[in-house]
Amino acid sequence: MSIHPTAIIEEGAQLGADCVVHAYAIIRKYAVLDAGVIVHPFAVVGGDPQFLKFDAATQSTVRVGAGTVIRESVTINRSIYADKTTAVGERCFIMAGSHVGHDCVVANDVVLANNVMLAGHVEVGKNAFIGGGSGIHQFVRIGEGAMVGGAGRITRDVAPFLMVAERDEVSGLNLVGLKRRGFSREIIAEIKECYRRVFFVGGDPREHAAAALSAGVKTAEARRFLEFFAGGKRGFVRPAYQRGSGCGHGE
């Protein structure tokens, strides 16, 4: 473990083996850092949530998974609920100036580029990439392997493996990401077919996804894509050709 001069580690914080905390970083007493986490200058991990009714006496936490890198001036806020946790997974890369709001759940191998803003209760699936300056509305879900373009304004759920940009606009599948993860041609072909079944027609994507599931899929990845549409509170992002049509919101 390496704690640089002027770093602040509050009593009660828990740091695993081989953690590195650089100068001027602050690890609050509510933080748990697993092995090998690196925290760069001016980051604050475990700070109070930005919630007007929050009681500072609430005992809640932030947990950061092994091998995650937290760059300069990142803030990760603890939960607003007693005995609950804001969670960041393993091997994540949280770039400078990003904010992870209270009660977020960020899965393994996620990248948040510079100045990403996650509001409270956001869920980000494994291997997702969120481009610099993007703002994610509270309670939004970003599915696994999704990619959000820089300066995106995301107010609705993003299904797994999609690329989105601007305001809630789907631009297609993240095919480069799928190939980099080693997905087979069979898997990618079935995800493409499921994408067409959900988005190439108007109406409620929940219904289209349920129908596709009922018809049967061969791969676990395609099933995860379709099952995503059964949950959530925010409706769904949609392709540009459906914008203004009243379709694709899941409402």
Q: For domain 2-174, give the CATH number.
A: 2.160.10.10
Q: Which helix (H) or strand (E) holds 146?
A: none
Among the listed residues 95, 101, 139, 94, the one whose alpha carbon sits nearest the alpha carbon of residue 117: 101
Residue 245: the pLDDT is 46
Among the listed residues 188, 187, 164, the one whose alpha carbon sits nearest the alpha carbon of residue 175: 188
Q: Model confidence over 147-201: pLDDT tens digits? A: 999 999 999 999 999 999 999 999 999 999 999 999 999 999 999 999 999 999 8
Catalytic annotation on 249?
Answer: no
CATH number 3.50.50.60 is the correct assignment for the domain at 178-242: no
Catalytic residue among 65, 101, 120, 132: 120
Q: Model confidence over 112-151: pLDDT tens digits? A: 999 999 999 999 999 999 999 999 999 999 999 999 999 9
For the chain, residues classed under CATH 2.160.10.10 are 2-174
Residue 202: pLDDT band (50, 70, 90) is confident
The structure tokens 């009714």 sit at 53
Catalytic annotation on 48?
Answer: no
Lowest mean pLDDT among 22-26, 144-148, 238-242: 238-242
Residue 244: the pLDDT is 52
**Inter-residue contact 141 to 123 (CB < 8 Å):** yes
Catalytic residue among 40, 99, 102, 208: 102
Catalytic annotation on 102?
Answer: yes
Cα–Cα distance for residue pair 13/43, rounded to 1 Å: 15
pTM for this prediction: 0.95
User: Which own/partner pairs from 159-168 qualify as long-range (CB within 8 Å, at least 24 positions apart)?
Assistant: 159/198, 159/225, 159/228, 159/229, 159/236, 159/237, 160/125, 160/221, 160/224, 160/225, 160/228, 161/191, 161/195, 161/221, 161/225, 162/195, 162/237, 164/237, 168/237, 168/238
Catalytic residue among 65, 67, 101, 103: 103
Residue 54: the pLDDT is 98
For the chain, residues classed under CATH 1.20.1180.10 are 178-242
- The residues near 132 (Cβ < 8 Å, ≥ 6 apart) are 95, 113, 114, 115, 116, 150, 151
> What secondary structure does DSSP assign to 226-239, as a single string?
HHGGG--SS-B-EE
